[in-house]
Amino acid sequence: MKQALISLSDKTDLANLGNGLQRLGFSIISTGGTASSLEAAGVDVTKVEEITHFPEMLDGRVKTLHPSIHGGILARRDLKHHLEALNEHGIGTFDVVVVNLYPFYDKVTSGAISFEDGIENIDIGGPTLIRAAAKNHKDVLVVVDHKDYPALLKYLEGKQDDQDFRRMLAWKAFQHVASYDSAVSEWLWKQSNKGDTFPPSLTVPLSLKSTLRYGENPHQKAAFYGDKSLSLVNAGGIATAVQHHGKEMSYNNYLDADAAWNCVSEFESPTCVVVKHTNPCGVASRQDILEAYRLAVKADPVSAFGGIVAFNTTIDEDLAREIREFRRPTDGETRMFYEIVVAPGYTEKGLEVLKGKSKTLRILEARRSGKGMLSLRQVNGGWLAQESDDRTPEDITFAKMSERAPEGSELSDAKFAWLCVKHVKSNAIVIAKNNCMLGMGSGQPNRLESLRIAFRKAGEEAKGAALASDAFFPFAWNDAVEEACQSGIAVIAEPGGSIRDQDAVDCCNKYGVSLLFTGVRHFRH
């Protein structure tokens, strides 16, 4: 008789599976709670101990770890001596193995849990059954996901011999165990190595969330994966954002939305950030969020058109209407067009109004991004890992290096510019005043060119403003620092650290400009 072994922690659709297999003539072998649930659903069940002639022991740690079980799973049906060995020991074969694992991931992420409780939730028998069945998938169908039950029953009803189907189930089984083991490994590492950020080896469990239309360019295929690492549970960010409206997200949409959300999440005051090609081209903070939105767009209205708009406040009806109706500052007529709007929440009316802007506008609701994350970046043949750059102006000492100290709001202007420049691609320069970005230069191979771009965008408003640089100025005289001073900048914030730092100090003293060293660099490549 055909035999199926079923042992489940998640018993979703178990009754349908058990009755379906029984209808197809399978004898059901099961364990503990799974057996009880099947019996309650009217399914005839043989308990594992009736097969092994050995009781469950050690508080359930040993149930299926027995030759009568694993021999029946691992025996190859095309090898005569395997079948003879089974007959000699009175072991029957298994044709189907359906197993899922103790909810270790849910347990260790649900809140405070003792080390001992975590250990007890590490499944041993389950992964062993899954791996054995997956290895012998030519003869044994292995299922780890309740969503595959209908396909399994359909396959068995058709009496098919589709090896591709078997291989797909086997792949899914090994992947299931690998993801499970990665969670256990990550948890144990953190329990035993609390001060070490970088383990000797690292497994990142990724789960496909969507296949994208294409990648960075139309000729590149692409997909989006969610990271199931324990460290990212409740971490927030764009990966877990809810899309309320609009076209499906594209590869570039994810990159730009991530940049916008990471930037706006740094600000405590009501803030709007506009991003284009992962660079913030407009940032403004105001108690009146409508005014912040208008100022952020006006910082660079040409770049803002077709960009991503992010807010750190709930979008209500008034703000939604402003986003929908606001005209392009360059002509006063054309409605601003955006790819994405992202915010931490929407009122019911606000969402309704915003949906009316465009059928294609992607409207995302995201939770604030977490701190202390491990940042990974791929290079050919390997990965770079680093701590996330979480430092804000509140974590930094702005040391006065010049004779002139910042006056009035100049220090707060410098701090605002410093927080903005952190999110601009290097070489990065930001000019800001009154909690509003006036101009920025990004991604240039030399700092002087980035500075000139920033001044070109800021125009006359640069006079009396603050300038922030993500890294030190290698030259001062007849270079970036002097040009900034001659253009009317009131205060400059930079990390310092150049062998020519004194030149920068002397130059600022000559022009009566305040110079602040932060001691912290914010490169972004």
Catalytic residue chosen out of the listed positions 82, 107, 135, 247: 135
Helix, strand, coil percentages, rounded to 5, for the chain: 40, 20, 40
Catalytic residue chosen out of the listed positions 146, 244, 277, 298: 277
Helix (H) or strand (E) holding 451, with range, is helix 447-458
| Residue 151: burial class (beta carbons within 10 Å; 0-12, 13-18, 19+) | middle
| Residue 92: burial class (beta carbons within 10 Å; 0-12, 13-18, 19+) | middle
DSSP 375-411: EEEEETTEEEEEE-----GGGS--EE-SSSPP-TTHH
CB 2 within 8 A of CB 25: yes
Beta strands in 344-487 (DSSP E): 362-365, 374-379, 382-387, 399-400, 429-432, 437-441, 466-469
CA gap 191, 202 in Å, rounded? 15
Asked if omega into 19 is within 30° of 0 (cis), the reply is: no
Q: Which residue has the tokens 């396909």?
A: 151
How many CB atoms are located within 10 Å of the residue 286 CB? 19
DSSP 27-60: EEEE-HHHHHHHHHTT--EEEHHHHHSS--BTTT
Which amino acid is present at 510?
A: K
Q: How many CA atoms lie within 13 A of 266 on its CB side?
A: 26
Output phi, psi for 215, to 5 deg: -90, -140
Residue 135 designated active-site: yes
Nearest CA-CA partner of 187 in 129, 258, 102, 262:
102
CA gap 39, 450 in Å, rounded? 72
- Parallel, antiparallel or unpaired: strands 96-99 and 491-494: unpaired
Give how far the C-alpha of residue 466 lies from the chain's centroid of Cα atoms, to the nearest Å. 34
The residues, ordered by sequence, that sit 6+ positions from 97 with a Cβ below 8 Å of its Cβ are 4, 5, 73, 129, 130, 132, 133, 140, 141, 142, 143
Nearest CA-CA partner of 507 in 430, 421, 411, 404:
404
Q: What does the chain come to in residues? A: 525
CA gap 522, 430 in Å, rounded? 12
Catalytic residues: 135, 277
